[in-house]
Structure 1
Amino acid sequence: MTYASLSDLIAAFGTDDLIALTDRADPPADAIDEGTVADALAGAQSLIDGYLASRYATPLATVPDVVRRWACDIARHRLYLNRGGPTEPIQKAYDDTLRQMRDAADGRVRLAVAGVEAPASASGGGVKGVVPPRIFDARGLEGFR
């Protein structure tokens, strides 16, 4: 199971766009090629898992709406790469998605999913300092007064 489905892509971008991006039949079949969509969605999940694996147990057991949206934007971008390249708005959506995934991986954004890996922290939670031994003390400086 991928983080988004064909129906998610249709809801987000429309049938016509997906037909134009996936129908590679000769002559065109005027239908969405579900295999091409499945490949794009699998690639999107792999990319998302690559970003999130350092902080979350992947694949995610539950898929938050934001992750579903990431998967749709990434899959659409991948489909456009096969058709001459993405338009500026599609590239911007992809770049925004990558930024958001980096934020999630770095802990600046927290996803509401099970399996969160807490970053390692020092026990005690305080600051430790190391001070070198004294060379001079008050007794050693008495003769200089």
Structure 2
Amino acid sequence: MTYATADDMKTRFNDQDLILLTERENSTPGEVDMMVLTQSLVDASAEINAYLSGRYTLPLSTVPTALVRVCCDIARYFLSSDNAPEHIHQRYTDALKFLKLVNEGKVALGIDSQGDKATTNDTAHIESAGSVFARDKSTGFI
């Protein structure tokens, strides 16, 4: 199971970038090589699992949106190999920092330890003492 799909990558990144990043000797010119793209997503998901395995039961039944973004950033870095520009390297570094914080329990993904969407009891409850400007409480004009 991967945390992101090829469509997630296409949504986040320019098609031309993905074509250049996935181009190999046997690739069709001008098209994204889906096998290369899928492999990078599998590799990125494996790296994410290495961080999550101590805190969550894998595979996660619900994939948090934050992990989709992180998976795409890591996969893009892997596709760039040794030629990653500074901004791609920075996004990869930021993704790893995020995963370390999740591993340490300092950042929550919004799921419980079993990987299901977490339920909370912290809903807002508002009480009022009643109307301040009511006719029966008025002693003046009203």
Q: TM-score range by the shorter chain?
A: 0.7 to 0.9
Contact 1:51 1:101 in 2 (8 A): yes
Q: For 1:64 and 1:25, how far apart are their aligned partners in 2? A: 35
Q: How many residues are matched?
A: 115
TM score, norm. by length of structure 2:
0.76
Q: Shift of the alpha carbon at 1:70?
A: 0.6
Report what 2:104 is aligned to.
106
Q: For 2:10 and 2:89, how far apart are their aligned partners in 1? A: 19
1:40-59 matches, within 5 Å, as 40-59=40-59
Q: Which has the larger radius of gyration?
A: 1
> Which ranges in structure 1 are unaligned for 5 or more consecutive residues?
118-145
> Which ranges in structure 2 are unaligned for 5 or more consecutive residues?
116-142
| 4+ runs deviating over 3 angstroms | 25-28
Contact 1:104 1:111 in 2 (8 A): yes
Report what 1:71 is aligned to.
71
Report what 1:21 is aligned to.
21
Contact 1:61 1:113 in 2 (8 A): no
Q: Shift of the alpha carbon at 1:73?
A: 0.2
Give the aligned residue type for 1:16. Q
* Identity of matched residues, %: 35
Q: For 1:114 and 1:31, how far apart are their aligned partners in 2? A: 40
Contact 2:44 2:74 in 1 (8 A): yes
Give the aligned residue type for 1:47. E
1:84-99 matches, within 5 Å, as 84-99=82-97
Contact 1:61 1:114 in 2 (8 A): no
